[in-house]
Structure 1
C-alpha cells in the first residue's frame, strides 16, 4: 500500500518507459505522465491509467479479451481517453 508521496515517487520513478511494473507515457490531456498497467486471465482484460499530475486514476475492465491483447488494450485506451475527456468537462 502506498502511504505517502515519497513512496509514490519511488514507485513511479521511470527507467525509460517502465516504472516498477507500470508503463510510463506522456499524455497532454493529463498534464504529463501517465502510468499504465494491464492484466488478463484470457477471459477478461483490465487496464489502469494513473495520472499523478491531476490526482486521478482510471480503470477499464472488459468481460472478454482478444487473443491479441493489443486489441483489448486499444479498446481500453479509447474508453479511458473518453473518461478523461468527460472528467475534465466538469
Structure 2
C-alpha cells in the first residue's frame, strides 16, 4: 500500500492520534504527512476542521495538552493548530 493510501486508511480507522503519530505510523516526515492529508482534502476524501476555538484564552502555553508552558500542538509560534481530520462521507 502506498504511503498516500496508508494516510487515508490511518485516518479512516482512527488509529493515528495526531499528525506526528500519523507520520510515524506511515514512515514519513510530519511535513509529508501534512501534504498527504492536504491531497486527500483537495480530492474530497478527508475533511479538516479547525478546532482553535477550543484553545484556551491564555494561548498555547496554557493549553492542557502542553508540557510546562510549552505548546502541546507541536508549534511554538502561538498559531492555533488544533485540527480534527475525518473521512468525508460519500456523496
**Coarse TM-score class (shorter-chain normalised):** under 0.3
Q: What TM-score comes out, normalization by structure 2 length?
A: 0.25
Asked which structure has the greater RCO (Cα within 8 Å, sep 6+), the reply is 2
Q: What TM-score comes out, normalization by structure 1 length?
A: 0.26
